[in-house]
Structures are given as C-alpha cells and as structure tokens.
Amino acid sequence: MSDGGTAPFPLAVLASGEGTNLQALLDSVHGHEAEVVGVASDRPGARALERARAAGVSTATFPAAEFPDRAARDEAMAAWLVERGARAAVLAGYMALLTPGFLGCFPAGVLNVHPSLLPAFPGLRAVEQAVAHGAHVFGVTVHFVDEGVDTGPIVAQRAVELPDATDPAEVLAALRPLEHDLLPKAVRRLAAGTLPAPPTTR
C-alpha cells in the first residue's frame, strides 16, 4: 500500500519487446497510484526501453550472455530494481523465466499478464496453442508469478469470443486492449493492498 494513500506505490517493470503493456501503465497508473521506478529488459533493443526513457523512467538491460547463469542475471536485475525502491514487479511481455531468488526480492509480489485464460495454454506461444486447439474463446489473465510456468494465483481474467479465429496475429490484436485495461486495474489493486497475498518463495 502507498504511505497513507499519498505516495505512489514503487513498481518495477520487466519487458522484452514492444512494451505496449508498459505504455498502458505509464499512461494510466504511473505518477498516480503507482510509480514505475525502473524498467529492466533482457534485450537491449527492446522498444519498451525507449518508451520508458521517453517517460523519464530509469532503464537497464541484463542480456543473458553477460552473466554466467540465470541466477546471476536475476540477482543483478533484482538488485538494480530494489535499489530504486521497487516493492513489486510487473512482467509486461518479459520472455524469460525468473528464479525464486528474484521473486523473493519483491514481498508485495510479481505480476504477469498472459494471453490466455489460464490454466489453459500456459507458457510460450499461448495464442498459437489456442488457435491450433480450435478455441473459439480467447482471453487474458493477470496472475502472481510463482516458481512454475504460469501457475501462480490468478488475479483477474477477461475473455472475448472469436469464433472464426485462425490467425494468431489477429487474436493477439484483439487481446491487446483487454491487456491494456486489465493490467493497470490489477496494479491499482496491488497499490491499494486489496489483492490476495502473493505466493511465498523458498
């Protein structure tokens, strides 16, 4: 929760690509209920970093090739974000798994937005999985991250019927507005302290 309801909740964001969900946070909750204090990426060329810098938010990159293993990379990334005061983190299109050590640095939790109605179609290429399965209903899930792959407690979901969907790109385009609405709402609840407790890590 923010201090007395006045100070914005300090939030880290991790992103690997375009950063449209980051932009949704910057356009809605940043500077209000929450403050994005740092954006980290595993890809130096990620468009998300440009979006963050344009908003005056500190950025840093942590490419896997620069670290001996995932644990070392996550330790460095968590230290950089915690140094900036982040109490929670949001994965906004971050495409790497996180170690328990990273998750344990954020007691308020780590949130992820996933383009399926979990527990259906976890992991990578969720929309492609759903299209191949012949799904007619697609959706978006915001959930806490735990040590599994998209197995953490669900915070919010929203569905859309696309009975004729055959093109994953078209489905992703239809899901994007749902993500951009659902994620900021979840972050507002996180900042207000009205979400369930996040999962504990070892």
pLDDT tens per residue across span 116-129: 999 999 999 999 99
Whether the predicted pLDDT of 4 surpasses 80: no
Alpha-carbon distance 30 to 28, whole Å? 6
Contact 192, 154 (CB under 8 A): no
Whether the predicted pLDDT of 61 surpasses 80: yes
- Number of other CB atoms surrounding residue 13 within 10 Å: 32
State in Å, rounded, how far the first CA of the chain is from the last one: 24
- Tell me the per-residue pLDDT of 139-156, one tens digit each, with 9 for 90 and over: 999 999 999 999 999 999
Average pLDDT over residues 37-44: 97
Whether the predicted pLDDT of 200 surpasses 90: no
Contact 21, 184 (CB under 8 A): no
Average pLDDT over residues 88-106: 94
Average pLDDT over residues 150-178: 95
| 114 carries an active-site annotation | yes
**Cβ burial 116-150 (10 Å sphere, 16+ → b, else e):** bbbebbbeeebbebbbeeebeebbbbbbbbbeeeb
Whether the predicted pLDDT of 197 surpasses 90: no
Q: Which domains does the chain have, with CATH numbers?
A: 3-192 (3.40.50.170)
| pLDDT, position 6 | 66
Contact 153, 186 (CB under 8 A): no
Average pLDDT over residues 177-195: 96
Q: At what angle do helices 20-28 and 47-54 cross, to 10 degrees?
A: 20
pLDDT-derived band at 201, boundaries 50, 70, 90:
low
| pLDDT, position 173 | 95
Of 30, 32, 114, 180, which residue is the catalytic one?
114
Whether the predicted pLDDT of 74 surpasses 60: yes
% of residues, the chain, pLDDT over 90? 91
Segment (H or E) for 169: helix 168-192
Mean pLDDT taken over the chain: 94
